[in-house]
């Protein structure tokens, strides 16, 4: 199913169609205001035909309105019919103005009666003099005979406005139309209550024959409902509640169909909908055939898991090849067209310009999760305004290929207020563009794997939103946007290892890596000082095994480095260096004279177990920065010796490289675990990590608990000592050379003696 969401690529003759827009609504519903606001800004030529002023500024007749409208259409101008038009008979003659060159639309102002009456009573100087006390009785009487329009009357498009937000969306849609623009056909914005009213009307009609499929069901309902309704029958229906009570159990199936197909109009406002672009096929130049196969594969996998929700693939061009490919492949797989469809239009204007209500949209993001660049990413950030960028920063600082992050959209965003979007899901696919860094060099085995992961992450994120809505809302007619509009529910994609935000606030901006040993009295004192720090990286190894890439539940205290990495601007007084990829800072509780941390700024890269060949460039950059800072320290004190490495099982979230001097002269070095975490195979040298990942794809982690409980041995002469004070006393005087293994492969960074030789 393909729907045109904006300017079409149809033939020139169709492009130049005029429009007759019949406004339907009680006095006080806002019809004249609607016309005024659209005509003030629209570039399309419009004529307003109002019966209250048709006769030289005074009230006239319906015939005069028809004549005026016909004259405007002849002059190639579009027309607003500004009358109440509350029943089918009143609309019929205006609908007849339509032709193959003239589209007939209806905009229905179905606002609450109290609001219309209140406006009518309060207004002064009304064109038709309907104001004051008499207005209430007139409005009430007219609403008793209200008959909502249907497509079968001859309309190509009907838009229902049931609140001010809907009215504003309609104003935006028609204001944006240029002389050659069109709007998609169909029925938009009708709520479930309207479908129930039509169900009640159906009781007065002949029984609907049992249809063979969903499409024929919709057509059957439409034909039966719209061909035999009379005003007399309609007047018997007192309201949605009364009608709902009249439906018998035998009509349950008919009710379900009515909710989805009455008048060919699905209740789209109530259906959780994800609109997503094709990932990596534009800027990242992924092969379209392969991408289409993966889209259909993943849609087929997820569509049955989403219940009533639906997926919409969006592209700006009506001649889009990816849409054509996906449509054909989806048809071959018999994917339900009500659950998955394609749509031509601007993903940031789906409701206002296309009438498609999507509460969630996907962004084909860049890894920095920032505005800029081009395509969908730039368009979404621009349309959403600063609110999206701020909300995104609160969720994540970066994204790795194949991963996604869900961002609740604040109500201050124009995308929320204008389009009804409650969530944006950022997703990053594989890069096949040789003009961009880190491209996959036509490796489609890896590229397809990453793209599958990207769509899985995206659809899992949407499924999480849908499940949250179902859990929070028992009333199935409540819109998703009203339930989750201000939600800050955290979503965790298992492959991303993203954790929920901590509620604990930091007492200081300086949050660094500190020891975390509940059995240590000294450490308990430090933890009691209200400083949320990061750990040297050994204590959680006992309870949390690495297991390659298994998700780890980080405690609130273990989030400190993550927050510094994602928001270094909040810690400018303490961070020593900031770049797009890393931050550098001193350890708050150093285990030696000089102890620095080089922290990665990549979302989802929590520890060394998460690192793969994709991260080699980052690991090399971290090593180079560590060397630079070690050399700076050696200029200040040439007696120092440095070692650069990672803990196999860190206690702190966010991959970080230790740059630590080998004197271990520090009051914060307090127990056996502190020592052994830096002086056993638990500590992996940076050069070895880079070499192994380059060859094998992963680093071999030494996270055996026994390593941290080994006897205390000097890191130079390897002599054993009964306790840490004795060991500290020894290493202060030990002048033995370092073991040969450490002296190989540049594992140590040495200062120079006075004669210029290495120590």
Residues with catalytic function? 656
**Mind spelling out the 3-state secondary structure of 684-733?**
EEHHHHHHHHHHHCCCCCCCCHHHHCCCEECCCCCCEECCHHHHHHHHCC
**Spatial CB neighbours of 726, under 8 Å, sequence gap ≥ 6:** none
Rounded CA separation 210/23 (Å): 35
398 CB-near residues (< 8 Å, 6+ apart): 367, 368, 369, 566, 601, 602, 603
In contact, 391 and 453? CB cutoff 8 Å: no
Rounded Cα gap, residues 183 and 170, in angstroms: 11
Question: Within 13 Å, how many C-alpha atoms sit on residue 426's CB side?
Answer: 29
The C-alpha atoms of residue 581 and residue 619 are separated, in whole angstroms, by 10
Residues listed for the chain: 759
CB 687 within 8 A of CB 743: no
Taking the alpha carbons of 499, 505, 510, 513 in that order, is the dihedral positive or negative? negative
Residue 195 near residue 267 (C-beta atoms within 8 A): yes
The sign one gets for the Cα dihedral 659, 662, 663, 665 is positive
Rounded Cα–Cα distance for residues 170 and 105 (Å): 12
**DSSP, res 501:** P
Nearest to 341 by CA among 362, 315, 312: 312
Say which DSSP state 758 is in.
Answer: B
List strand residue ranges (DSSP E) for 542-640, in order: 575-578, 582-586, 595-600
How far, in Å, CA of 638 to CA of 750, rounded?
Answer: 8
Tell me phi and psi for residue 276, to 5 degrees.
Answer: -140, 145
* Radius of gyration over every alpha carbon of the chain, rounded to an integer in angstroms: 34
Sign of the CA dihedral 553, 554, 556, 562?
Answer: negative
Q: Is 130 exposed, middle or buried (0-12, 13-18, 19+ CB in 10 A)?
A: middle
State how far the Cα of 612 lies from the Cα of 556, in Å rounded to an integer.
26
User: In this structure, are residues 194 and 236 in contact, taking their beta carbons and an 8 Å threshold?
Assistant: no
Long-range CB contact pairs, 430-438, < 8 A, 24+: 430/280, 430/284, 430/286, 430/401, 430/402, 430/454, 431/280, 431/284, 431/401, 432/280, 432/284, 432/285, 432/286, 432/287, 433/283, 433/284, 433/285, 436/283, 436/284, 438/614, 438/617
Q: Residue 654: which of 607, 617, 611, 613 has the closest Cα?
A: 607
Query: 211: number of CA atoms within 13 Å, CB side?
Result: 17
Please report, for residues 368, 398, 399, 432, 710, the alpha-carbon distance to residue 581 in angstroms, rounded to integers and kept in the order given: 9, 9, 12, 21, 36
């Amino acid at each position: 199913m393909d729907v045109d969401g904006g300017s079409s690529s149809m033939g020139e003759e169709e492009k130049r169609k005029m429009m007759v827009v019949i406004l339907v609504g009680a006095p006080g519903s806002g019809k004249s205001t609607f016309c005024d606001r659209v005509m003030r800004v629209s570039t399309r030529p419009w004529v307003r035909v109002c019966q209250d002023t048709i006769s030289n500024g005074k009230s006239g007749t319906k015939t005069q309105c028809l004549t005026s409208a016909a004259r405007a259409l002849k002059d190639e101008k579009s027309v607003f019919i500004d009358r109440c038009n509350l029943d089918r008979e009143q609309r019929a003659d205006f609908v007849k103005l339509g032709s193959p060159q003239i589209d007939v639309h209806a905009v229905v102002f179905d606002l609450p009666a109290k609001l219309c009456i209140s406006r009518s009573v309060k207004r002064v100087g009304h064109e038709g003099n309907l104001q004051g006390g008499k207005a209430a009785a007139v409005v009430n009487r007219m609403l008793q005979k209200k008959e909502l329009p249907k497509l079968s009357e001859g309309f190509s498009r009907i838009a229902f406005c049931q609140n001010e937000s809907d009215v504003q969306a309609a104003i935006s849609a028609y204001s944006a139309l240029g002389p050659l623009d069109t709007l998609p056909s169909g029925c938009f914005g009708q709520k479930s209550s309207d479908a129930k009213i039509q169900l009640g009307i159906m009781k007065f009609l002949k029984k609907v024959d049992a249809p063979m499929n969903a499409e024929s069901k919709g057509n059957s309902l439409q034909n039966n409902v719209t061909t035999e309704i009379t005003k007399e029958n309609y007047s018997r229906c007192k309201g949605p509640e009364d009608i709902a009570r009249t439906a018998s159990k035998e009509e349950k199936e008919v009710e379900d169909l009515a909710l989805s197909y009455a008048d060919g109009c699905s209740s789209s406002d109530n259906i959780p909908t994800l609109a997503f672009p094709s990932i990596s096929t534009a800027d990242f130049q992924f092969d379209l055939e392969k991408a289409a196969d993966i889209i259909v594969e993943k849609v087929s996998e997820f569509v049955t898991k989403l219940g009533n929700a639906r997926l919409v693939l969006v592209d700006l061009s009506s001649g889009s090849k990816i849409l054509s490919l996906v449509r054909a492949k989806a048809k071959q797989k018999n994917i339900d067209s009500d659950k998955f469809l394609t749509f031509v239009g601007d993903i940031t204007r789906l409701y206002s310009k296309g009438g498609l209500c999507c509460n969630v949209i996907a962004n084909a993001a860049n890894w920095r999760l920032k505005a800029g660049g081009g395509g969908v990413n730039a368009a979404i950030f621009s349309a959403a305004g600063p609110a999206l960028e701020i909300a995104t920063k609160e969720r994540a600082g970066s994204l790795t290929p194949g991963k996604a992050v869900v961002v609740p959209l604040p109500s201050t965003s124009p995308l929320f207020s204008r389009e009804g979007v409650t969530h944006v899901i950022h997703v990053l696919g594989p890069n096949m563009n040789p003009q961009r860094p880190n491209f996959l060099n036509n490796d489609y085995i890896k590229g397809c794997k990453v793209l599958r992961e990207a769509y899985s992450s995206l659809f899992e994120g949407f499924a999480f939103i849908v499940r949250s809505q179902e859990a929070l809302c028992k009333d199935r007619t409540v819109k998703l946007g009203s339930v989750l509009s201000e939600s800050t529910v955290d979503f965790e994609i298992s492959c991303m290892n993203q954790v929920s935000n901590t509620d604990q606030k930091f007492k200081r901006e300086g949050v660094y890596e500190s020891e975390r040993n509940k059995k240590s009295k000294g450490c308990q004192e430090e933890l009691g000082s209200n400083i949320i720090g990061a750990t040297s990286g050994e204590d959680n190894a006992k309870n949390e095994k690495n297991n390659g890439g298994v998700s780890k539940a980080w405690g609130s205290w273990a989030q400190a480095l993550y927050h510094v990495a994602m928001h270094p601007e909040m810690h400018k007084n303490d961070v020593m260096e900031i770049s797009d990829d890393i931050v550098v800072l001193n350890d708050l509780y150093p285990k030696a004279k000089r102890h620095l941390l080089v922290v990665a700024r990549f979302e989802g890269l929590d520890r060394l177990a998460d690192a793969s060949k994709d991260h080699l460039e980052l690991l090399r950059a971290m090593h180079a920065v560590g060397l630079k800072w070690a050399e700076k320290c050696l200029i200040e004190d040439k007696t120092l010796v440095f070692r650069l490495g990672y803990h196999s099982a860190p206690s702190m979230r966010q991959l970080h490289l230790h740059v630590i001097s080998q004197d271990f002269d520090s009051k914060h070095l307090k127990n056996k675990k502190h020592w052994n975490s830096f002086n056993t195979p638990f500590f992996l040298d940076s050069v070895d990590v880079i070499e192994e990942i380059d060859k094998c794809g992963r680093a071999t982690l030494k996270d055996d608990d026994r390593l941290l409980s080994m006897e205390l041995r000097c890191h130079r002469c390897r002599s054993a000592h009964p306790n840490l004070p004795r060991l500290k006393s020894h290493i202060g005087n030990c002048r033995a050379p370092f073991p040969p293994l450490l002296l190989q492969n540049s594992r140590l960074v040495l200062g120079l003696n006075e004669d210029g030789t290495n120590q």
